[in-house]
Amino acid sequence: MNNFKNVWIFAQVQRGRLSPTALELLTAGRKLADSLKEKLCAVLVGYHVEPFVKDLVEHGADVIYVCDAPLLENYVDDVYARVLADLVAQYKPNKFLLPATNLGRSLSAKTAVFVGTGLTADATEVTIHEPDGQLYATRPTFGGNLMATITCKRTRPEMCSLRPMSYEKALAKPGRTGEVIHFAFDAKRHVSAARFIEFIKSGAEGIDLAEAEIIVAGGRGVGKPEGFVLLQKLADRLGGAVAASRAAVDNGWIDYRYQIGLTGRTVKPKLYIACGISGQIQHMAGMSGSDVIVAINKDPQAPIMKAANFAVEGDLYEVIPAMLEELK
């Protein structure tokens, strides 16, 4: 196991865009690499991904492994997982962090199986256990009622997928330099029974929640599916996105992919407007990192009213139209 050195992160690129999760993983990875006194390395796989090398180096990567080939233009998980497994076999990283995005969840699991190592999926925090240099990955468990810290004692690399938004994005240091290692794509070896046919953009209209700077979220207090049309109007006026509490999702008023919280998504917008949401701990777990929280609630005693920077006591069906009027 002593032959395994350095901390790797997978820099996800999809449809020509570097995922912001790459910069978050660089922050998490830097802490691990510094504790271990090892290098921080990023892995770039795809087609025309070379331009992202500079970005990754300036944001903290010491070494970049690049596998760039036309056949990697579209993501197919067993092909990508084979590439990662071959990279791991050749260069032997000590720790390997991937994003717990839809792509990363699938890729990390397959790669771990090909490599024959352990994976802690969907972690929210990673640290190095100083005495033995093991990776300690913490994640919610038993439906979010407990936090478990998981370690993988017998195999290397220790792999972990990390929830988006669990770490701040690394800051750039323009002019920083690093080493680039090219890895050849082998069309005979990196194969799959699956074939890419077509890319169909998901039905989720508007702004991606993960990137939204303003979020207007609705809870049980919205009372009906049509209520989200009003919330969408406010979001549109502010250039933001709509989200929801689990109660609204469970009632079938809005799709699960909009759910914020422990069993939903974690967000860190500049402004979070919670409408008809009481602020239970499981909801707060997904949005308490917001810069400014505005709560609109009929009940001044609701927990969110205490957590909010601005607590507006009132009926959301009166307050939101008044806000829209004012914003005109």
Ligand X SMILES: Cc1cc2nc3c(=O)[nH]c(=O)nc-3n(C[C@H](O)[C@H](O)[C@H](O)COP(=O)(O)OP(=O)(O)OC[C@H]3O[C@@H](n4cnc5c(N)ncnc54)[C@H](O)[C@@H]3O)c2cc1C
Q: Of 60-68, 80-88, 163-171, 261-269, which segment contacts ligand X by CB under 6 A?
A: 261-269
> Which ranges constitute the DSSP H helices of 188-307?
227-238, 246-250, 281-284, 303-307
Cα separation, 296 vs 16, in Å, equals 39
Minimum distance of ligand X from residue 283's CB (angstroms): 3
Could you tell me which of 285, 288, 286 has the C-alpha nearest to residue 306?
288
288 binds ligand X (CB under 6 A): no
Could you tell me which of 116, 50, 122, 114 has the C-alpha nearest to residue 84?
114
156 binds ligand X (CB under 6 A): no
Considering the complex, state which of residue 47 and residue 317 has its C-beta at the smaller distance from ligand X: 317
Count other Cβ atoms within 10 Å, centred on residue 33. 24
Contacting residue, 299, 306, 309, 327, with ligand X by CB under 6 A: 299
**Strand ranges for 11-157 from DSSP E:** 13-14, 17-18, 40-46, 63-68, 95-99, 119-123, 125-129, 134-141, 146-150
Q: Of 57-65, 77-85, 203-211, 282-290, which segment contacts ligand X by CB under 6 A?
A: 282-290
Contacting residue, 282, 307, 311, 324, with ligand X by CB under 6 A: 282
Contacting residue, 13, 247, 293, 323, with ligand X by CB under 6 A: 247
164 binds ligand X (CB under 6 A): no
Considering the complex, state which of residue 56 and residue 241 has its C-beta at the smaller distance from ligand X: 241
Considering the complex, state which of residue 129 and residue 224 has its C-beta at the smaller distance from ligand X: 224
Contacting residue, 60, 240, 264, 269, with ligand X by CB under 6 A: 264
Minimum distance of ligand X from residue 209's CB (angstroms): 13
The residues, any chain, with a CB within 8 Å of residue 52's CB and separated by 6 or more, are 11, 13, 18, 22, 44
CB 216 within 8 A of CB 270: no
290 binds ligand X (CB under 6 A): no
CB 161 within 8 A of CB 39: no
Minimum distance of ligand X from residue 249's CB (angstroms): 8
219 binds ligand X (CB under 6 A): yes
Considering the complex, state which of residue 14 and residue 282 has its C-beta at the smaller distance from ligand X: 282
Per-residue tokens: 327: 């914003």
Contacting residue, 30, 139, 163, 283, with ligand X by CB under 6 A: 283
Could you tell me which of 2, 3, 55, 63 has the C-alpha nearest to residue 33?
63
Side chain identity, residue 155: T
289 binds ligand X (CB under 6 A): no
HSE-up of 294 (CA within 13 Å, CB side)?
A: 17
How many residues bind ligand X, per CB under 6 A?
Answer: 31
Chain residues binding ligand X by CB under 6 A are 143-145, 219-221, 245-248, 259-264, 276-278, 280, 282-283, 286, 296-299, 302, 315-317
